[in-house]
Structure 1
Amino acid sequence: MPAPGAPPPSSLPIAHLQNNTAKWWWADPGLRKLALGIACGFAVTVNNGYDISLMGGLMANPRFMKDIDSPGSNKLGLIVAAISLGMIPSLTFAPALADRLGRRIAMAVGYVIIIVAVLIQTFVIGGWRMFAGRFVLGFGSSIVFVSSSPYVAEIAHPRNRSETAALINCNFYVGSIISAWVTFGALNIKSNWSWRLCTLLQLLPPIFVLCLLPFAPDSPRWLVGKGRVDEAHRMLAKYHANGDMDDELVLYELEEIKEAIASEKLHQANSKYSAFLKTRGNRHRLFIIVMVGFLSQWVGNGIISYYLVDILKSVGITSPTQQTGYNGGLQIFNLFAAVFGSMMVERAGRRKMWLISACGMLVSYIIITGCSAAYTEKGNKGAGYAVLTFLFVYFGFYDIAFTGLAIAYPIEVLTFSLRTKGLAISLFSVSCALFFNMYVNPIALEHLAWRYYFVYIAILILAIVVIYFGFPETKGRLLEEVAEIFDGPQAHVSGDRHNDDQPKDYKEGSEHVEDSKV
């Protein structure tokens, strides 16, 4: 398993280039400084993971349910879903903010809004007031997401860019773990601070990022796009080669970025939303980002993440302590599984990881459905315990691809000029899927119980078909080079890319198009 910061696999086109960095990132001064900016980009998924696990944990807290007016399933679904509703309006301007003012400034704006939202959630009483706080939280979160995810991929060192991009969403489970165990411990507080404290801790990631952003670098791709080529060169030299302006890798990266962005600027229309409909390659990109957003939330994970308490109750786990304890253990397992999957993306390939993940989830969900039916209809306790076990198995398969690649894969397939807009479209797809999940799931669970799981079995079958026929392999390519898969040989490439010094695997990369069944 390649570790982040390890020498590049031989399939990467940079393997033959000299680079003034240490073998491991933690032993290299420039890459250690770069980790500061990457940590800022990771923080948004920490915050998102904290929120999702928070709501699941707080629904096991009687004081919290009382303070939000003990809502029925309809109102509870709206309160939980408010964050996804809040994401939608800010998506109309978040890409423009990130492209015009820069990724760092856009992140700062989003985090200030998140701080306001957290304070509203913490110090209000009542279901609809909580709804308002969560709506504002979603509004700020989507601004941060659209700017921070491209930021991480654009500043990362190319030899570990794939793993770093996949790790963005893995930090979701860092937040989930903290939240799960905070809600577990706070149950012992004999006041409404048993839930207020849990919500107030959501201030930590925004404050952390706002303190560090002034010291983090700008994206070199954004700098080149703004005509600030010298600044981009200095940034790449400082963080990717410890200040060596003549480093071979730095010069290669800079030329790749300059030529790719210059090519895109020749066709200004290609930077508009309408560009997604104008070419076959862009329509394929649009299909992928919409399906990734939809499937990442609609393969059964949403019902488990947000309504785990209801699922546990359905198989006989009714104690709040047991429920929050199980949730905490599940989030720790998820983190390890997601990191493992992220470390494998460059070795195994994206398409193979997607397929293994979807097929494993399908088998697991079928077993969960059957065992839930056996427990509910016949009172089989062994079947109830099997559900608890296969929830872990299901999430293990989900994590190895759907956690890391849900962000990393769209970033790879999108060109620079469409990257923030494409992520906004993907996040819109996520928001719509999340809202339906959060609002409909509690109602459907209340009326259909385990029979509702058949909906997700059907969607998992659809996911396997979509991945097999529609998701190409992007392994072994730099960000600027993935365009060849979608746009063909006429896509911009550097003149020396396919010289005889390149590794054989890389020169034959065009074969991936046929292999991916596109």
Structure 2
Amino acid sequence: MTPSNVKPASGANAYTDLMDPKRTWYNNRRLMILHAWIVLLLVTSTASGYDGSMVNGLQSLPQWETYFNFPTKGKLGLLGAIQNIGSLAGYPFAPYLCDGIGRKPTVFIGASMMVIATAIQTASQSVGMFIGARFLVGFGLTFAASASPMLVAELSYPKYRAPLTSTYNSLWHLGSIVAAWATFGSFKVQSTWAWRLPSALQAVPSLVQVFLVWFVPESPRYLVRKGKETEALKTLAYYHADGDENDPLVRYEFEEIKAGMEFDRTVAANIGWRSFLSSSGNLKRVRIIIAIAFFSQWSGNGLAGYYLNKVLSDIGITNPTTQLLLNGILSIWSLVCALAASSTVERFGRRVLFLSSACLMTLFFTMQTVCFARFTISGDKNAARGMIAFIALYSAAYNLAFSPLIVCYALEILKYDVRAKGFCVFNVTISIALIFNQYVNPIALAALNWKYYVVYCVWLVCECIFLYFYLVETKNHTLEETAAIFDGEVAREKITDLALTQAGVVNEVGNPMSDDKGSVECVEKS
């Protein structure tokens, strides 16, 4: 046995041999506490989902339409897109806050802005004030949504990292459900509170974060980067090993983090934003994260996701109560599908889920197009019912990968030194795609009707081809191992070997080393 082939066993994030099999989230008090803090961070995605669904629901409220003088086409598109324009304005600052002052303070800043913005939105007296408030909502959400998923990925116990990070984006649908049913419930209020009440409720998740986020531990990777290694080790030990700083898992995690950062400094020669263009590995990363970000918003999902009332009206379903009810039911369906997929990411792998999702989306969106065309041409009511069914099936296909995996996958393929900046690129791409989608979709639907769907049918085929040739599998790797895959096997070997040696898991000749906890078994890499 040689040093180069002595590794932790291939398994859940490559830590299988080092984890205590008796330590699980439901029987370990400190893991329960850690997961409680992670749930607080997951709330950020819920706030984002609430916003998107609320705007969709408000469009079906006569009280909202009357108060804002029945916005259509360009104005309606601006009302939908302005939140993402606000997000776009915040992205240049987000990575510097995340890397400069830490993930936790950045979440607090973003949540505070959200609370202020929703208060202004609720009190709006004109369409201009409403649009300005929604711009500020997007601006604040940028900071919380940039820092929260990174903190989830960097704090999680290795066994649960992928499912928890996947759950982050899946909980967008939980916010969507609350917003959909809030607008449905306020429909019968015969005043402007029919839309002001759902707007006020939007502040609740962010308000909870403002008061509790300071109790969340900071990212160990951020602490190591800032030279606070003792604090980083204590954080890992407290939550991952009941406070035992000599636990083999904690020692390996800690040393791997240090080894990964040392590799970036001495070998990869990270040079900030320019590093995305100076390294073939980083070019691959950027290509993938831009693609999946764009695909997540430009796969036809923006039509039913943001303009469901317009789509339903075009197929003859014009009753506001029915529209709001369908919006609420589809939100629940999407959440169930996304959470189910989140639990399988380590079982099936990223490629299988992404490719299955893209192929099924292509099929079901094509069937939507056929049903829409048939109803428009012949007025066939069965075609309208069929379209609703295919919208639900399409939603299940989309949530197989594009809800749970896009954030998880983007974060795990990025090295720490470029994670905040790379995630900024990812989010900027999403915002640009959303702005275009939300502004153009109502105009294009009004002009082209069902023919506009054909554009997405063709585009979905292109997505399938790209994912097949370029998506890299990252199943069962740590964050540092996954990031190193893009820099070549040599990088991965150096990081892993250095971490193992420094952690005392193997000695220089590849034999297991003992400490006061006893020997730690190592196995050959399969």
Indicate how the Cα distance of structure 1 residues 277 and 204 shifts in structure 2: closer, same or farther if over 3 A, else same: same
SS in 2 for 1:60: coil
SS in 2 for 1:27: coil
The structural deviation recorded for 1:432 is 0.4
In structure 2, C-alpha distance between the alignment counterparts of 1:115 and 1:45, rounded to whole Å:
15
In structure 2, C-alpha distance between the alignment counterparts of 1:432 and 1:31, rounded to whole Å:
38
Letter in 1 for 2:367: I
Partner of 1:102: 102
Q: Which stretch has the larger CA shift, 492-501 or 105-114?
A: 492-501
Partner of 2:53: 53
Q: Which stretch has the larger CA shift, 250-259 or 67-76?
A: 67-76
In structure 1, C-alpha distance between the alignment counterparts of 2:387 and 2:73, rounded to whole Å:
23
Are the aligned partners of 2:13 and 2:158 in contact in 1 as well (CA < 8 Å)? no
Q: Which stretch has the larger CA shift, 396-405 or 454-463?
A: 454-463
The structural deviation recorded for 1:489 is 2.0
The structural deviation recorded for 1:126 is 2.2
In structure 2, C-alpha distance between the alignment counterparts of 1:277 and 1:292, rounded to whole Å:
19
Partner of 2:382: 382
In structure 1, C-alpha distance between the alignment counterparts of 2:293 and 2:305, rounded to whole Å:
16
Partner of 1:282: 282
Instruction: Kindly tell me the number of residue pairs found equivalent between the two proteins.
Output: 498
In structure 2, C-alpha distance between the alignment counterparts of 1:206 and 1:428, rounded to whole Å:
22
Partner of 2:147: 147
Q: Deviations over 1:208-230 (max 9, x none)?
A: 11121121101011011111111
Partner of 2:272: 272
Residue 338 of structure 2 corresponds to residue 338 of structure 1:
yes
Partner of 2:88: 88
Partner of 2:248: 248
**CA RMSD after TM alignment:** 1.7
Partner of 2:3: none
SS in 1 for 2:490: coil
Letter in 1 for 2:190: K
In structure 2, C-alpha distance between the alignment counterparts of 1:69 and 1:12, rounded to whole Å:
54
Residue 307 of structure 2 corresponds to residue 329 of structure 1:
no
Residue 29 of structure 2 corresponds to residue 29 of structure 1:
yes
Q: Which stretch has the larger CA shift, 257-266 or 190-199?
A: 257-266
TM-score for the superposition, normalised by structure 2: 0.92
Q: Deviations over 1:367-405 (max 9, x none)?
A: 000001111110111111000101110000100100011
Partner of 2:489: 489
The structural deviation recorded for 1:267 is 6.1
Q: How does 1:405-444 map to 2 (within 5 A)?
A: 405-444=405-444
Partner of 1:127: 127
The structural deviation recorded for 1:37 is 2.3
The structural deviation recorded for 1:11 is 5.5
Letter in 1 for 2:54: L
In structure 2, C-alpha distance between the alignment counterparts of 1:91 and 1:502, rounded to whole Å:
43
In structure 2, C-alpha distance between the alignment counterparts of 1:459 and 1:429, rounded to whole Å:
17
Q: How does 1:75-474 map to 2 (within 5 A)?
A: 75-266=75-266, 270-474=270-474
In structure 1, C-alpha distance between the alignment counterparts of 2:409 and 2:194, rounded to whole Å:
39
The structural deviation recorded for 1:9 is 8.1
Contiguous gaps of at least 5 residues in structure 1? 1-7, 509-518
Are the aligned partners of 1:374 and 1:380 in contact in 2 as well (CA < 8 Å)? yes
Q: Deviations over 1:402-433 (max 9, x none)?
A: 00111000001000011110110010000100
TM-score for the superposition, normalised by structure 1: 0.93
Letter in 1 for 2:166: A
Q: Percent identity?
A: 37
Are the aligned partners of 1:338 and 1:399 in contact in 2 as well (CA < 8 Å)? yes
Are the aligned partners of 2:13 and 2:476 in contact in 1 as well (CA < 8 Å)? yes
Are the aligned partners of 1:42 and 1:171 in contact in 2 as well (CA < 8 Å)? yes
In structure 2, C-alpha distance between the alignment counterparts of 1:284 and 1:347, rounded to whole Å:
25
SS in 1 for 2:270: helix
Are the aligned partners of 1:271 and 1:418 in contact in 2 as well (CA < 8 Å)? no
Partner of 1:15: 16
The structural deviation recorded for 1:113 is 1.0
In structure 2, C-alpha distance between the alignment counterparts of 1:183 and 1:438, rounded to whole Å:
20
In structure 2, C-alpha distance between the alignment counterparts of 1:13 and 1:290, rounded to whole Å:
27
The structural deviation recorded for 1:503 is 6.1
Are the aligned partners of 1:83 and 1:136 in contact in 2 as well (CA < 8 Å)? yes
Are the aligned partners of 1:174 and 1:335 in contact in 2 as well (CA < 8 Å)? yes
Q: Which stretch has the larger CA shift, 30-39 or 220-229?
A: 30-39
The structural deviation recorded for 1:240 is 0.7
SS in 1 for 2:450: helix
SS in 2 for 1:187: coil
In structure 2, C-alpha distance between the alignment counterparts of 1:229 and 1:168, rounded to whole Å:
28
Q: Which structure would you say has the larger Rg?
A: 2
Contiguous gaps of at least 5 residues in structure 2? 1-8, 512-520
The structural deviation recorded for 1:143 is 1.1
Which has the higher relative contact order, 1 or 2, with Cα contacts under 8 A spaced 6 or more apart?
A: 2
Q: Deviations over 1:419-467 (max 9, x none)?
A: 1101100100001000001000000011111111111112211111111
Indicate how the Cα distance of structure 1 residues 268 and 98 shifts in structure 2: closer, same or farther if over 3 A, else same: farther
Which runs of structure 1 show a deviation greater than 6 angstroms over 4 or more consecutive aligned residues? 497-501
In structure 2, C-alpha distance between the alignment counterparts of 1:71 and 1:196, rounded to whole Å:
17
Are the aligned partners of 2:12 and 2:159 in contact in 1 as well (CA < 8 Å)? no
Q: Which stretch has the larger CA shift, 363-372 or 211-220?
A: 211-220
Q: Deviations over 1:224-270 (max 9, x none)?
A: 11111110111011111111121111111001111111222336851
The structural deviation recorded for 1:81 is 0.3
Are the aligned partners of 1:371 and 1:384 in contact in 2 as well (CA < 8 Å)? yes
Letter in 2 for 1:326: L
Are the aligned partners of 2:18 and 2:249 in contact in 1 as well (CA < 8 Å)? yes
Q: Deviations over 1:165-210 (max 9, x none)?
A: 1111011011011111110010011111010000000111111111
In structure 1, C-alpha distance between the alignment counterparts of 2:32 and 2:10, rounded to whole Å:
21
Indicate how the Cα distance of structure 1 residues 319 and 280 shifts in structure 2: closer, same or farther if over 3 A, else same: same
In structure 1, C-alpha distance between the alignment counterparts of 2:117 and 2:80, rounded to whole Å:
14
In structure 1, C-alpha distance between the alignment counterparts of 2:101 and 2:203, rounded to whole Å:
24
In structure 1, C-alpha distance between the alignment counterparts of 2:483 and 2:202, rounded to whole Å:
38
Indicate how the Cα distance of structure 1 residues 395 and 271 shifts in structure 2: closer, same or farther if over 3 A, else same: farther
In structure 2, C-alpha distance between the alignment counterparts of 1:324 and 1:164, rounded to whole Å:
30
Are the aligned partners of 1:18 and 1:247 in contact in 2 as well (CA < 8 Å)? no
Are the aligned partners of 2:415 and 2:484 in contact in 1 as well (CA < 8 Å)? no
Q: Deviations over 1:295-351 (max 9, x none)?
A: 110001111100000111111111111001001010111111001111111010001
Q: Which stretch has the larger CA shift, 35-44 or 83-92?
A: 35-44
Q: Which stretch has the larger CA shift, 216-225 or 31-40?
A: 31-40
The structural deviation recorded for 1:359 is 0.2
Are the aligned partners of 2:51 and 2:176 in contact in 1 as well (CA < 8 Å)? yes
Q: Which stretch has the larger CA shift, 483-492 or 156-165?
A: 483-492
In structure 1, C-alpha distance between the alignment counterparts of 2:137 and 2:432, rounded to whole Å:
16
Partner of 2:43: 43
In structure 2, C-alpha distance between the alignment counterparts of 1:72 and 1:18, rounded to whole Å:
57
In structure 2, C-alpha distance between the alignment counterparts of 1:461 and 1:241, rounded to whole Å:
47
